[in-house]
């Protein structure tokens, strides 16, 4: 028998269906709340208790530290699949066959050219501009070069829009880096795989031979897989809500890039490395920064710590920490900020403040250290996160459109003035 939830408001009782997810998560279906109660709403700033949709893409359990895409554990995906393979899985629902994968890769490669006029737009940015601002703008600019609306009933048109974005987005990202550096732009080399190609587009200079390091490519592939999707986070919810107005895929993803840039979201990976460097410059006094993070009169937060959903551990952070150790061993190098990060984690995890609030290292805590070891400058960290998250944004946009979800339009509780008389200038 299906369960119901009872709500008593102002002496009246209302009943709402209870819905249960695949993993026994329970939700109260309040779709009919307003219509059945005559206008009552729920208030939930930051949507801490609100499910905005039903989704079949990603399952995460914040208490147990579980992350799965389409039923597959993140630990297995990072070890056994490639970034593009996981992208296909996340977007279309199943792991690709060899034939599907070959077509997917080829179709993406086919779109790895930008209209040359995009260079005029990039020229308009000042050298040194932050690449995240450029990537958000350039993703939106793709709409100008692809003005036709995608017919949502045509799987072919959706597929083409998706492969276009998958092909062009890393080029935009790489060219934003080149613009920031005043360096020449590199075109895609379709003899390379997707991730190796990202590295050569970012780092190759025409005067020298560029040698790809397979260890670095493998490490980057794994890191990007870890970022592919994370259900209804801030940028993904942004993509879904923008797309719900029937804005196109490129415009919706561009808004996701902007949302990701914030320091509390993807911008945290840049903020973590800056924080670790500051601690290093300040003599490595980790305890001092822990005290600052605990001080309510100090706005400082331990960047890379805490998560809205993970209240035990972030499985991605565990994988990344191990990957950082493996990468430095493989490359035969080291980074003093890794030691600071580990010390900071150790001290914080023993501290009552962090334990009580269930604050643990998140995905951004160690990722910047790996990006730096791979040669990415700090301003590119969040852009790399965006490249990793692209399949997730696409999958969520596609699911939302195919589900025919209504336009996102939350309600509010008005707490301003009641009706009052207009006051003319000379009486104010």
**Helical packing angle, 268-281 and 336-350, nearest 10°:** 100
Asked if 187 contacts 201 with a C-beta cutoff of 8 angstroms, the reply is: yes
Minimum distance of ligand CMC from residue 317's CB (angstroms):
9
Tokens of 203: 């780092």
Binding residue (CB under 6 A) for ligand CMC from 265, 321, 372, 401 = 265
364 forms part of the interface with ligand CMC (CB under 6 A): yes
Binding residue (CB under 6 A) for ligand CMC from 103, 130, 292, 308 = 308
Site string for ligand CMC, 20-49 (x = CB under 6 A): --------------------------x---
Binding residue (CB under 6 A) for ligand CMC from 18, 205, 264, 329 = 264
Asked if 77 contacts 69 with a C-beta cutoff of 8 angstroms, the reply is: yes
303 forms part of the interface with ligand CMC (CB under 6 A): yes
Which residue of this chain has its Cβ atom nearest to ligand CMC in the complex? Answer: 306
Alpha carbon separation from 95 to 71, 80, 92, 193, 334 (Å, rounded): 11, 12, 8, 18, 36
Binding residue (CB under 6 A) for ligand CMC from 357, 402, 403, 411 = 357
Residue 163 or 236 having the CB closest to ligand CMC: 236
167 forms part of the interface with ligand CMC (CB under 6 A): no
- DSSP H or E stretch at residue 156: helix 155-181
Q: First vs last Cα of the chain: how many Å apart?
A: 63
Residue 62 or 133 having the CB closest to ligand CMC: 62
Give the C-alpha separation, 361 to 285, whole Å: 19
Tokens of 185: 């732009």
Helix, strand, coil share of the chain (percent; to 5): 55, 5, 40
Give the C-alpha separation, 242 to 257, whole Å: 12
107 annotated active-site: no
Minimum distance of ligand CMC from residue 364's CB (angstroms):
5
Identify which range of 100-108, 166-174, 178-186, 301-309 contacts ligand CMC by CB under 6 A.
301-309
Q: Which of 364, 379, 421, 426 is catalytic?
A: 364
229 annotated active-site: no
Give the C-alpha separation, 247 to 10, whole Å: 40
307 forms part of the interface with ligand CMC (CB under 6 A): yes
Q: Which of 230, 307, 314, 343 is catalytic?
A: 307
Identify which range of 81-89, 304-312, 328-336, 402-410 contacts ligand CMC by CB under 6 A.
304-312
Burial 89-109 (b: 16+ CB within 10 A, else e): bbbbeebbeeeeeeebbebbb
Ramachandran angles phi, psi of 27, nearest 5°: -135, 145
| Adjacent-strand bridge partners of 32 | none
Look at phi and psi of residue 20 and say left if phi exceeds 0, alpha if psi is from -120 to 50, else beta: beta
Minimum distance of ligand CMC from residue 366's CB (angstroms):
12
Asked if 231 contacts 22 with a C-beta cutoff of 8 angstroms, the reply is: no
Binding residue (CB under 6 A) for ligand CMC from 91, 259, 359, 395 = 359
Burial class, 128, CB count within 10 angstroms (exposed 0-12 / middle 13-18 / buried 19+): exposed
362 forms part of the interface with ligand CMC (CB under 6 A): yes
Minimum distance of ligand CMC from residue 267's CB (angstroms):
8
Residue 178 or 271 having the CB closest to ligand CMC: 271
Binding residue (CB under 6 A) for ligand CMC from 175, 194, 203, 305 = 305
266 forms part of the interface with ligand CMC (CB under 6 A): yes
Binding residue (CB under 6 A) for ligand CMC from 173, 249, 268, 275 = 268
398 forms part of the interface with ligand CMC (CB under 6 A): no
Active-site residues, by number, are 307, 364
| Chain residues that interact with ligand CMC, rule: CB under 6 A | 46, 233, 264-266, 268, 293, 301-308, 357, 359, 362-364
């Amino acid at each position: 028998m299906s369960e119901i939830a009872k709500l008593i408001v102002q002496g009246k009782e209302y009943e709402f269906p209870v819905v249960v997810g695949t993993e026994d998560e329970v939700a109260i279906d309040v779709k009919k709340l307003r219509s059945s109660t005559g206008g009552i709403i729920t208030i939930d700033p930051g949507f801490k208790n609100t499910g905005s949709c039903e989704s079949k893409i990603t399952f995460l359990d914040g208490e147990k530290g579980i992350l799965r895409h389409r039923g597959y554990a993140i630990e297995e995906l990072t070890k056994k699949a490639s970034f593009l393979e996981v992208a296909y899985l996340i977007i279309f629902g199943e792991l690709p066959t060899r034939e599907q994968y070959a077509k997917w890769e080829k179709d993406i490669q086919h779109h790895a050219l930008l209209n040359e006029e995009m260079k005029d737009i990039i020229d308009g940015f000042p050298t040194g501009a932050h690449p995240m601002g450029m990537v958000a703008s350039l993703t939106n600019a793709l709409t100008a070069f692809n003005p036709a609306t995608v017919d949502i009933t045509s799987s072919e048109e959706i597929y083409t829009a998706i492969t276009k974005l998958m092909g062009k987005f890393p080029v935009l990202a790489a060219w934003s880096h080149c613009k920031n550096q005043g360096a020449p732009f590199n075109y895609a080399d379709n003899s390379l795989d997707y991730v190796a190609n990202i590295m050569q587009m970012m780092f190759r200079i025409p005067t020298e031979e560029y040698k790809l390091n397979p260890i670095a490519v493998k490490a980057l592939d794994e890191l990007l897989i870890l970022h592919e999707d994370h259900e209804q986070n801030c940028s993904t919810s942004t993509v879904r809500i923008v797309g719900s107005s029937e804005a196109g895929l490129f415009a919706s993803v561009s808004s996701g890039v902007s949302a990701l840039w914030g320091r509390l979201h993807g911008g945290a990976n840049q903020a973590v490395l800056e924080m670790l460097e500051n601690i290093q410059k300040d003599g490595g006094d980790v305890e001092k920064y822990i005290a600052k993070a605990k001080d309510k009169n100090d706005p400082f937060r331990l960047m890379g710590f805490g998560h809205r959903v993970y209240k035990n551990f972030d499985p991605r952070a565990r994988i990344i920490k191990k990957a950082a150790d493996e990468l430095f061993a493989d490359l035969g190098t080291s980074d003093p900020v890794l030691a600071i990060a580990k010390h900071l984690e150790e001290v914080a995890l023993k501290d009552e403040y962090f334990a009580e609030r269930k604050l643990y290292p998140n995905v951004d805590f160690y990722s910047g250290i790996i990006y730096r070891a791979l040669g990415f400058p700090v301003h590119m960290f969040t852009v790399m996160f965006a490249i990793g998250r692209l399949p997730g944004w696409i999958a969520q946009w596609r699911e939302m459109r195919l589900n025919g979800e209504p336009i996102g339009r939350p309600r509010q509780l008005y707490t301003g003035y009641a009706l009052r008389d207009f006051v003319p200038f000379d009486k104010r």
